[in-house]
Structure 1
């Protein structure tokens, strides 16, 4: 078992993967207090608004101009699994779905034949900082499923099995582990 680890990749932005059909990205932003419009309650001067991926003062605006995040953009032919451990994400899409999730919730979105959506990070706390920790995986759909109807499903943190082993907590968001079955991401399930 001494050769079980084949290669170690540095955790960059995004994560390097060997598979071109897999994309992983980890966001950890230490956002400041928000204002009444859910924007940073600090100056945005000196930021490359619309394309701010450089960590400055511990956080990034990404493609957001006022509220951090990713305004409307298209997806097609793959699935995204978004886990928000800290903070919140406001989702809206071309299918008419909209909502806020966070604090351990998981969104499973199948883009299929195409969907436009927005993922914004509202800074709700006006009295203290607004940390955001988000992990996202993009999975390329197999050829037979490329043009399925798009849908998304929320896996609320209260419904996600959590296994505690030694010093680790394992959230089961797909499949099963030690007889604990994840909620299904399939529509209408």
Structure 2
């Protein structure tokens, strides 16, 4: 039954939709979303007329900028078995000078996202999927063009790290101006800079220091988030992220007046058909087909 199908240990559990789970049409302004789908599929539709289906390791990078509407639905493509879904959605702020850029979305397909495979001194393996940033000379696919992450000096990094049981690795330092966090979301335990932590924990690190990580007896999965702070006031209200309260009020007024371009789809919870493969169709009519 919809609403009774969550795994209890997941960090956040909520969606809307009466027939298909997901998030029917809703607005955004002033920031970006980076949606990393580990399992399952997401159907995207937006107010620019763009749409797509992505999942199983794909990443969608969407710049809401001046304002857009979109729907994120989770299609039930398997009629006779479960339809698991696991994803991260990361909200990235935009600086004041870019909060009103033209909305844009870009697909980072699994096949194009670089993966770094390493082994420690004992031959135990680890894997780093580089969604943003670089590590050991390997660079991510470029993000959306107006992103804070598009400028290398902002040191934005999003990595999915998988460590074999009992493996060791030293997270390399970057400048002291960056903020850096680890979210240990799957596994049993690990030791970070000499401190033992259990899973479902997030920790902040000093980005200017190398950080030794020793994994415990089970395979572990970590999300690394890093970037230089924009260092501007932030006011967030629901789906809007601006610099002042008056800008939030303006966003709400603009949305009521314009609907950020309206909704060109026949349904607020648009899905793309059970048998459709992964694809992206952009506002300019360009289409990418992956399955």
TM-score with structure 1 setting the length? 0.67
Structure 1 unaligned regions, length at least 5: 1-42, 45-51
Does residue 169 (structure 1) correspond to residue 127 (structure 2)? The answer is yes
Give the Cα separation in 2 of the matches to 1:122 and 1:143.
36
Alignment correspondent of 1:185: 143
1:140 Cα deviation (Å)? 1.4
Structure 2 unaligned regions, length at least 5: 8-12, 119-123, 146-291
The answer on whether the counterparts of 2:115 and 2:127 sit within 8 Å (CA) in structure 1 is yes
Does residue 107 (structure 1) correspond to residue 60 (structure 2)? The answer is yes
Q: What SS does the aligned partner of 2:131 have?
A: coil
Please list every run of at least 4 consecutive aligned residues from structure 1 whose deviation after the TM superposition is greater than 6 angstroms: none
Partner residue of 2:34 out of 81, 103, 128: 81
Larger radius of gyration: 2
The answer on whether the counterparts of 2:63 and 2:144 sit within 8 Å (CA) in structure 1 is no
TM-score with structure 2 setting the length? 0.44
More helix by share: 2
The answer on whether the counterparts of 1:61 and 1:67 sit within 8 Å (CA) in structure 2 is no
Give the Cα separation in 2 of the matches to 1:109 and 1:91.
11
Does residue 118 (structure 1) correspond to residue 71 (structure 2)? The answer is yes
The residue correspondences of 1:11-26 to structure 2 (distance < 5 A) are: none
Q: What SS does the aligned partner of 2:17 have?
A: coil
1:129 Cα deviation (Å)? 1.2
Give the Cα separation in 1 of the matches to 2:71 and 2:111.
24
Give the Cα separation in 2 of the matches to 1:111 and 1:58.
28
Does residue 144 (structure 1) correspond to residue 97 (structure 2)? The answer is yes
Q: What SS does the aligned partner of 1:144 have?
A: helix
1:87 Cα deviation (Å)? 0.2
Give the Cα separation in 1 of the matches to 2:49 and 2:89.
22
Alpha carbon RMSD of aligned pairs, Å?
2.1
Give the Cα separation in 2 of the matches to 1:94 and 1:72.
9
Q: Number of paired residues? A: 137
Q: What SS does the aligned partner of 1:130 have?
A: coil
Q: What SS does the aligned partner of 2:35 have?
A: strand
